[in-house]
Structure 1
Amino acid sequence: MSLSDSPRVFSKKEVARHCTKDSCWVLLGTRVYDVTGFLRMHPGGEALILRRAGNDISPELEGPPHRHSENARRWMEQYYIGEQDKDCDADETQTARKRRKSKERTEDEEPSPLSKCSQVNLDTDLVDWRKPLAWQVGHLGEKYDTWVHQPVDRPIRLFGNYFLEASTKTSWYMVPVVWIPLVIYLSWYSYTTLGQETTRLFANTDYSILVHKYSFPFIFLMGMIMWTFLEYCIHRFVFHMRPPAHNYYLITIHFLLHGQHHKSPYDGSRLVFPPGLASVAIGGLYLLLTKIFPETLGVSLFVGGLFGYVVYDMIHYYLHYGSPKRNSYLYSLKAYHVKHHFEHQRAGFGITTTLWDRPFNTLIPEQTF
Structure 2
Amino acid sequence: MSPSTSPRFFTEREVARHCTEDSCWVLLGTRVYDVTAFLRRHPGGQALILGRSGKDVSREMEGPPHRHSENARRWMEQYYIGEVDQDSDSDKLQTLRDRRKANQQMEEKAEITAEIKEKEEDPHNCCSIVDLDKDLVDWRKPLAWQVGHLGEKYDAWVHQPVDRPIRLFGNPFMEASTKTSWYWVPVVWLPIVFYFCWYCYTSLAKGTTKIAITSDFSVMVHKYTFLIFFLMGWFLWSFMEYCIHRFVFHMKPPAHNYYLITLHFLLHGQHHKSPFDGSRLVFPPGLASLVVVAFYTILCTLLPDMIGKSVFAGGLCGYVVYDMIHYYLHYGSPKKGSYMYSLKAYHVKHHFEHQRAGFGITSMFWDRPFNTVIPDEKFES
TM range (shorter): over 0.9
Spell out the pairing of 1:34-49 with structure 2 (5 A cutoff).
34-49=34-49
3-state secondary structure, aligned to 1:25: strand
Contact 1:148–1:259, Cα closer than 8 Å, also in 2:
yes
In the superposition, the TM-score normalised over structure 1's length comes to 0.93
How many angstroms does 1:122 deviate by?
4.8
2:356 maps to 1:346: yes
Distance 1:119 1:11, change over 3 A: farther
Contact 2:129–2:139, Cα closer than 8 Å, also in 1:
no
Distance 1:119 1:218, change over 3 A: farther
2:105 maps to 1:95: no
Distance 1:194 1:309 in 2: 24
Q: Which residue of 2 aligns with 1:28?
A: 28
Contact 1:120–1:152, Cα closer than 8 Å, also in 2:
no
2:24 maps to 1:14: no
3-state secondary structure, aligned to 1:26: strand
Distance 1:12 1:222, change over 3 A: same
Distance 1:288 1:93 in 2: 73
Spell out the pairing of 1:1-369 with structure 2 (5 A cutoff).
5-88=5-88, 93-104=94-105, 107=108, 121-122=131-132, 124-367=134-377
Q: Which residue of 2 aligns with 1:114?
A: none
Q: Which runs of 5+ in 1 are unaligned?
A: 112-116
Contact 1:11–1:89, Cα closer than 8 Å, also in 2:
no
Contact 2:9–2:100, Cα closer than 8 Å, also in 1:
no
Contact 2:128–2:139, Cα closer than 8 Å, also in 1:
no
Contact 1:21–1:50, Cα closer than 8 Å, also in 2:
yes
How many angstroms does 1:88 deviate by?
3.4
Deviates more, 1:39-48 or 1:218-227: 218-227
Distance 1:198 1:292 in 2: 20
In the superposition, the TM-score normalised over structure 2's length comes to 0.90
Deviations 1:177-207 (A, max 9, x none): 1111111111101111111223223444454
Distance 1:32 1:226 in 2: 48
Contact 1:337–1:351, Cα closer than 8 Å, also in 2:
yes
Distance 1:258 1:93 in 2: 50
Deviations 1:255-275 (A, max 9, x none): 000000000000000000001
How many angstroms does 1:223 deviate by?
1.0
State the aligned residue count.
Answer: 362
Deviations 1:298-330 (A, max 9, x none): 111001110100000000000000000001000
How many angstroms does 1:33 deviate by?
0.4
Name the amino acid aligned to 1:136. Answer: Q
Distance 1:107 1:184 in 2: 55
3-state secondary structure, aligned to 1:81: strand
Deviates more, 1:236-245 or 1:217-226: 217-226
Distance 1:362 1:48 in 2: 28
Distance 2:223 2:153 in 1: 55
Contact 2:364–2:373, Cα closer than 8 Å, also in 1:
yes
3-state secondary structure, aligned to 1:259: helix
Q: Which residue of 1 aligns with 2:120?
A: none
Distance 1:217 1:3, change over 3 A: closer
3-state secondary structure, aligned to 1:356: helix
Distance 1:102 1:307, change over 3 A: same
Contact 1:197–1:211, Cα closer than 8 Å, also in 2:
yes
Query: Which structure: greater helix fraction?
Result: 2
How many angstroms does 1:102 deviate by?
4.2
Q: Which runs of 5+ in 2 are unaligned?
A: 113-126
Distance 1:254 1:3 in 2: 32
Distance 1:96 1:273, change over 3 A: farther
Contact 1:78–1:118, Cα closer than 8 Å, also in 2:
no
Distance 1:88 1:205, change over 3 A: farther
Distance 2:84 2:107 in 1: 25
3-state secondary structure, aligned to 1:209: strand
Distance 2:312 2:3 in 1: 63
How many angstroms does 1:211 deviate by?
1.7
How many angstroms does 1:107 deviate by?
4.4
Q: CA RMSD in A?
A: 2.3
Deviates more, 1:41-50 or 1:190-199: 190-199
Deviates more, 1:12-21 or 1:196-205: 196-205
Name the amino acid aligned to 1:168. Answer: T
How many angstroms does 1:98 deviate by?
2.3
How many angstroms does 1:119 deviate by?
9.7
How many angstroms does 1:222 deviate by?
1.3
